Structure 1
Amino acid sequence: MKKFQPQPGFVVQAYRFALDPNAAQEQALRSHCGAARAAYNWAVGWVSASWWQRRAEESYGLAGPELTEWRPWSLPALRKAFNQVKRTDPRFADWWEENSKEAYNTGLANAAAAFDNYAKSKRGQRKGGRVGMPRRKSKHKARLACRFTTGTIRVEPDRRHVTLPRLGTIRTHESTRKLERRIAGGSARILCATVRFERGRWFVSFQVEVERAERTPARPDVAVGVDLGVKCLAVLADGQGEIHHVPNPAHYDTALKALKRLSRRVSHRQGPDRRTGQTPSKRWLQANAERNRVHHQVANLRTDALHKITTAISAEYGTVVVEDLNVAGMLRNRRLARKIADAGFGEIRRQLTYKTGWNGGQVQVADRWFPSSKTCCGCGAVKAKLPLHARTFCCDECGLVMDRDANAACNLAALAAASTTGTGVAGDRGAKAPKPRGADQKTRVTLPSRMAGAGRAGGATLPRQRQAEARDRHQDTATLTLR
C-alpha cells in the first residue's frame, strides 16, 4: 500500500465515532474482524512453514540450492498467494465470499508489517525492545478490528449514519457533524476507515485529509516547561516566572473501591473455564459487564481529561519542553505502577507533539539524563542525589527552597532558551560526559560559576575541600577510638 503524502496546508487526522449496529450488522462486523484474524494466521503459517522446512533440511545435511526457497512476506506477495488458495483451502473455501476483500487485506498487511518489524529488530535497525517472530492470534484474545481502504466509505448527510463496504449503512451513536460539514465544504477527504470493538462497543475511525488554517498560540514567544508527576499531573512553569499546578484527577483511584467490590462479586460466581469447557452463568456475565462498565468509564474520563490539558497547553504556548521519560521502566516499580499508568505520561507527550504542530508551536524534548529535579533553578548548582520522598528542593549553595516539581519545570523552561548551549551537566544537550569502561550516565555535581571560580582560586574546588574535611574528621574519630 502506497503511503499517503498530504499536500501543503493539509494534515491527516482521525475522526472517531461510536456505532449503534443492529444484530445483523454486529454479526457482519464480527465476521469481517474474524476474517482479518484468519488471514493473518494463514500468512504467519505460510511464511513460517518455509523457515521450519529449511531448518529441518539443514539438519539432514542439505545446503545451498537444495534447500526450500524462502517465501516472501511483502504485502503483494502475500496477497497473490492468498488469492491462489482461498478457493481451495478448506479453511476459507466455504465462507470467504461473505466478507469484503478489505478484511483479508487487513490481516495480510498486519502480517507483512509484523515480519518486517521482526527482520529489522533482528538486524538492529529498529528502536525499542526486541521484537520476536510473529505468532498466531487467538480467537479468544485477539482484538476485533478491520480496515477499509477502498469501496464506498462515506458519512451520510443526515449526520447520523455512515456507510462502509459490504456492511452497508450503520447508525452512529453520536452526531458526525464535525466531519460531515468539512466534507460538504470541500475542506476534508476521507482516506480510509477502521472499525474496532473496544470498551464494550463498536467504533469507526476515519482517517481524513483535512485542510487546517494556520494558527498561532496565544503566547508564541513564551516557552513552558512541563514536569509530569503523580501527586500533580503536571506542573507548568513558563519563561515569565508563572507556575501552574494541574492536579491529578486520579480517576482509577476514585473508582478503586467500586472495582474491588465488583471484582469480588465476579469471583463468587461461576465463570468460564476453557480447560473443562465450563460456560459462564448468566449472573457471572451480568457482574462482569457491570465491572467492565466501570473500567470503560474510567478510561473515558482519563482520555477526556488528557485531551483538555494538552489542548490548553498547545493553544497558549509557542514552545513546550517535556522530558524523555522511561515510562516502561517506571512501570516496573510495583509501588508506583498503578498511579503512573493512571496518569498517562506517554499519552500526554504524544498529544502535545501533534497538537503543538497544528497550532503553530513546537515541542522540545529534554534529554533523558538531564537532571531537571536536581538542578537549582536559581544558581544552577546540581545535587548529587535527591531521593524521591524529598518533595521540597533545598539548594545548599544559594539557599533556594521551593517545590521539587516546580523547580524541575523551571529548569525545563530555561532549557528552551539555552538549547544551543549546555551547562556541562551529564545529560545536557550537546554535553559529552565521560564513560570510562562503559559506566552508566550519572549526574555530575556542578557549581555556579562564582563558586567554581572561588574554588579554582583557592587551588581546589569546594566539593574536594569538603571531601578532605570529611577524611580529616574520619581520621580524628579513628584516632580517638584507638585511644
Structure 2
Amino acid sequence: MIKGVKVMLIPKNKQNTLMFQSAGVKRFAFNWALAREQENYKNGGKFISDNDLRKEFTQLKKIDEYKWLNETSNNVSKQAIKDACIAYKRFFKGQAKFPKFKSKKKSEPKFYQDNIKIQFTETHVKFEGFSSSTKKNKQKLNWIKLAETNRIPFGKDAKYVNPRCSHNGLNWFISVGVEFSNNTSVPVNENIGIDLGIKDLAICSDNITYKNINKTKKVRKLEKRKKRLQRQVSRKYDNLKENKVSIKGEKPKKTKNIIKLERIIKTVQHKLNGIRDNYTQQTTSEIIRREPSHISIEDLNVSGMMKNKHLAKAIQQQSFYEFRRQLEYKSSWNNIELRIIDRWYPSSKTCHDCGYIKKDLNLSDREWICPDCGIIHDRDMNASLNIRDCDKYKIYKIA
C-alpha cells in the first residue's frame, strides 16, 4: 500500500534560489517537449517517444546558449519531458484536454526528484544536483530542513514513489508516496452514519457532533483581517488607475505596497487553509479510529447547493468534497466499508422510528414532531440515524 505524505520545507536563501532554478528548468523542458510534439504533428510525423526527446534534449544542452540547463539535476528535465509526453498521449486517447504550455507568471513552480537518490532523516531531506562537491560544508547545501519531524519514514527499508517539490506562493513543499504494509484487521464495531451540514460540520449517529470550525473566534478574526487587507489593495488599484495614465493595452505596474499587501493576504489565506485542512484531517481520523464495520455518508450535490447565494460561501468553507475524499482513502486503508447514500433519499424528512415522511419540512426547521408517532426529532441526528440504517432500504453504493 502506498500512502502520500506532504511536508513543508524550510530552505535557506541559496537553497530557495536553487529550487526556483530547478522549477524553471522543469518548465522549459516541458514546454520544449510539447512544442516539438506539436511541430512534428503539423509536419505529418508520428508521436515522438520521450526516450528520443531526451536524447535530443541532451544535445541541446551542449549548445552554449542552453548551458544553464546543466546547472540542475538531469532527472528534473528528464521527468518534465516524460510528463509532457504522457499529457500529450492522454489527449489523443480522449482522457484529458490538450496540455497547456507552462507560464512563468501563472503556473505553480514545481519539479521532480529522483526516488532512488532522495534521502530522508528525522529532520532533513537530501536533494540531488544542488552541490556536486564532496566537501562537507558544500554538501550541506543538498540537505533541506523539514518543517515537521518524523513525518516521513526513513532508513534502508523505506521505499519512495514519485517525489515532487511544489511552491504555493509562500512556501516550498515536498510530497512523496511511501510504501507501507497492508492492514489486514477488519473492524467489527457499531456502524456510523454521518450527516454533513452548515450549522455543524458532521453529526454522527453515535451522538458525537463535530462543530463548524469557521464559527470559531480565531477563524472569524482571520477572515475579518483578510477582508480589510483586500479592501486596502482594491483602493490602491483604483488610485493607481486614476493617477497614472498607462499606454493603451498595458496595465499600470504594481507598486511595492501592493506587492507587500498581496503577500500578506496570501499569508492570511494560507493560515485559514491550514486551520480548515487540519480540522478536517483530525475529524476524519477520529471517526476512523472508532473502527466501525462500515461508515455511511450522503452523496451531496455540492455544485447545486452552491447556487444558493445566501449559503454558497458557508458551503464552500465546509469543504464537503474534501471530507468525503479523506474518508474514502482512510476507510480503504483500514478495511472499513464506506457506503454512499443516494442523494434523493429524504434522510432529514423521514422519521427514524416509524418511517413517516414529512414532506413540508423546511431548512429552518431544526426540530420537528412526527405526526404519526409523536416523537420529537432533532433534524440532523434523525438524518444521521437514517443514513446509518441505509442497508434496510438498499439505497447506497460502495465507494
Report the TM-score when normalising by structure 1.
0.69
CA contact (8 A) 2:75 2:114 kept: yes
Following superposition of structure 1 onto structure 2, how do residues 180-259 of structure 1 map, counting pairs within 5 Å? 182-184=153-155, 188-198=158-168, 200-211=170-181, 214=184, 217=187, 220-237=188-205, 242-250=206-214, 253-259=220-226
* One-letter code aligned to 2:126: T
* 1:84 pairs with 2:56: yes
CA contact (8 A) 1:86 1:92 kept: no
Aligned match of 2:264:
290
CA contact (8 A) 1:19 1:170 kept: no
1:47/1:177 CA distance change after superposition, 3 Å: same
CA contact (8 A) 1:232 1:247 kept: yes
Q: Distance in 2 between matches of 1:374 and 1:105?
A: 57
CA contact (8 A) 2:296 2:388 kept: yes
Shift in Å at residue 32 of structure 1? 1.4
Aligned match of 2:37:
47
Q: Distance in 2 between matches of 1:256 and 1:174?
A: 25
SS in 2 for 1:33: helix
* 1:134 pairs with 2:105: no
Q: C-alpha deviations, 1:269-313, integer Å up to 9, x for none?
A: 368999636543332232222222111110111111111101110
Greater CA drift, 42-51 or 164-173: 42-51
Aligned match of 2:329:
354
Q: C-alpha deviations, 1:302-338, integer Å up to 9, x for none?
A: 1111111011100102311112223334334433222
CA contact (8 A) 1:266 1:284 kept: yes
SS in 2 for 1:177: coil
* One-letter code aligned to 1:221: N
CA contact (8 A) 1:188 1:211 kept: no
Shift in Å at residue 152 of structure 1? 1.9
1:189/1:150 CA distance change after superposition, 3 Å: closer
Q: Distance in 1 between matches of 2:317 and 2:82?
A: 32
Shift in Å at residue 12 of structure 1? 1.2
* 1:118 pairs with 2:118: no
Q: Percent identity?
A: 26
CA contact (8 A) 1:87 1:93 kept: no
Q: Distance in 1 between matches of 2:328 and 2:337?
A: 8
CA contact (8 A) 1:223 1:320 kept: yes
* One-letter code aligned to 2:29: A
CA contact (8 A) 1:315 1:356 kept: no
Following superposition of structure 1 onto structure 2, how do residues 272-421 of structure 1 map, counting pairs within 5 Å? 276=250, 278-316=252-290, 317-384=292-359, 386-415=361-390, 417-418=391-392
Q: Distance in 1 between matches of 2:10 and 2:98?
A: 37
- 1:152 is aligned, of 89, 96, 117, to 117
Aligned match of 2:19:
29
Q: Distance in 1 between matches of 2:308 and 2:37?
A: 39
* One-letter code aligned to 1:40: F
Q: C-alpha deviations, 1:183-215, integer Å up to 9, x for none?
A: 34x663233421111261111123211236655
CA contact (8 A) 1:262 1:287 kept: yes
Greater CA drift, 386-395 or 222-231: 386-395
- 1:269 is aligned, of 236, 251, 261, to 236
Shift in Å at residue 104 of structure 1? 2.1
SS in 1 for 2:163: strand
- Max radius of gyration: which structure? 1
- 1:143 is aligned, of 104, 108, 113, to 108
* One-letter code aligned to 1:206: V
CA contact (8 A) 1:315 1:359 kept: no
Shift in Å at residue 174 of structure 1? 2.8
- 1:164 is aligned, of 127, 130, 146, to 127
Unaligned runs of 5+ in 2: 131-140
Q: Distance in 2 between matches of 1:356 and 1:210?
A: 15
* One-letter code aligned to 2:171: R
* 1:69 pairs with 2:37: no
Aligned match of 1:466:
none
CA RMSD of aligned residues (A): 3.1
SS in 1 for 2:190: strand
Greater CA drift, 299-308 or 321-330: 321-330
CA contact (8 A) 1:330 1:337 kept: yes
SS in 1 for 2:45: coil
1:91/1:215 CA distance change after superposition, 3 Å: farther
Following superposition of structure 1 onto structure 2, how do residues 417-456 of structure 1 map, counting pairs within 5 Å? 417-418=391-392, 422=394, 428-429=395-396
Q: Which has the higher contact order (CA 8 A, sep 6+)?
A: 2
Q: C-alpha deviations, 1:36-59, integer Å up to 9, x for none?
A: 2222223333333455x37xxxxx
Greater CA drift, 225-234 or 29-38: 29-38
Q: Distance in 2 between matches of 1:44 and 1:155?
A: 33
Q: Distance in 2 between matches of 1:42 and 1:344?
A: 37
1:93/1:235 CA distance change after superposition, 3 Å: same
Q: C-alpha deviations, 1:432-481, integer Å up to 9, x for none?
A: xxxxxxxxxxxxxxxxxxxxxxxxxxxxxxxxxxxxxxxxxxxxxxxxxx
Q: C-alpha deviations, 1:355-407, integer Å up to 9, x for none?
A: 22333422112233333233322222335565434433454443443222222
1:171/1:69 CA distance change after superposition, 3 Å: closer
1:150/1:177 CA distance change after superposition, 3 Å: closer
CA contact (8 A) 2:125 2:146 kept: no
SS in 2 for 1:364: strand
Shift in Å at residue 142 of structure 1? 0.3
